[in-house]
Structure 1
Amino acid sequence: MKQYKLHIAFFALALLHLYAVFANFPNLRFFTKPLICLALIFLLYKGTGLKKNIDKIIAVGLFFGCLGDTFLMFQDQFVFGLASFLVGHILYVIAFMKQTSPRLLVKHKGYILVVGVLETYSYYLFSVLQPSLGPLKIPVILYIITIALMAIFAFTRKHTVSLWSFIITFIAALLFIVSDSILAVDKFVACVANSGLMIMSTYILAQYGITLGAIIESKKNRL
């Protein structure tokens, strides 16, 4: 099957899951949700061959995303879901760091502004969540720091990867922050209208963007 058909098939699966969320079909939602990251692992394999360590790391990160998706489908497994996504984001951080050049960072210092904005937002998000976190305070702090680092290192790839890989991956990282912010506010602060649909639509685009960014970079290196 040609690769563009695989991307179309993935979006068909994603839309089916979003429809299950919108129409409140729990059985269909439970069936399709774990398949999202598994499908992306297959897409990454077909696009890169998983020949490079970076692509393998991202594939394992997607696998932990699948575990997180599965755990979060059960009310009493939130901590395990949080831990799974934390590991996944740490793996993304490692992958993006491997594509970051300290020499170029010293030369191009635009990342300082990005760091400042993400640090400010992270502190604001924690201040909103903090009164309701209870025993989850430390795990949530670690998670917020890690996802901010993931977005920062997605940006620091700017001068070492192709333009489209950089743009798509950085936007994906920001979408991850949006998705997790909505989830956290909905769980710990107040009910957010249509939260399920907003969380999953931004989450799916985030995971897809990270996968696509890796595929684009892999193809550039093969030219």
Structure 2
Amino acid sequence: MHTSFTGPPAADTHPTPATAEELERHKAAITRLGNELRALVEAAVRTAATPDTLHRVAEGVRHVTGQLTGRRRARADIPEVDEFPAGTRIYSPVTGAGSPLAPPLRVTPTDDGLIGHCTLGIAHEGPPGYGHGGMSAMLLDELMGRACAAAGAPGLTISLQMRYHRPVPLETPLRILARVTGTDHRKSFVTGSITTEADPATDLVTAEGVFVAPDPRRVRALFPGLTADGDPAGG
């Protein structure tokens, strides 16, 4: 579910905002760690190492995890490095460069919507050699929600109808499209599709979705980390 909203003031529970240079250094470090974590996850799900090796690696990972000390953000906290609500969320499981779960999806605008590019790995496997159907839904939900925001009508997913035409191959560059086809008051109607880069004329998965902008009076309750101008509290 992609979100992009403004809301009333929230309590300032964050430390003093970092400078632009500090934020860029932080983003670079998060991205580097994210790259290594994705490589670790992919290696972990592909390995045929012995149990002794796996136990030794698990102990090493536990030691590394213990080094991630300092303040931990709460469930509703918005990271200071996020370009929120209008930009990228660095820990998004779809687009986040810092997420070990993300492919990650790279998004650019088109004449009438958005296009995304990514390659799914073995960590995203459903049937052997192909992506999990839930990954296809997550990719489309994210990009279709972003298309709403890009069209000036950000909203939350209330309906997502998927049609799986063909299995989505792993380790194959993919092309994801999304565009808003109409609006009705606070509702936006969106279509999306997944193809391979090599064969963009053949749909693998298609989707139709409905997104709705919540009443501004509810935004504060849903997203307490937002201030009145839509920026993260303290950001």
Higher strand share: 2
Higher relative contact order (CA 8 A, sep 6+): 2
Higher helix share: 1
Structure 1 and Structure 2 fold alike (TM over 0.5): no
Rg larger in 1 or in 2?
2
TM-score using structure 1 length:
0.29
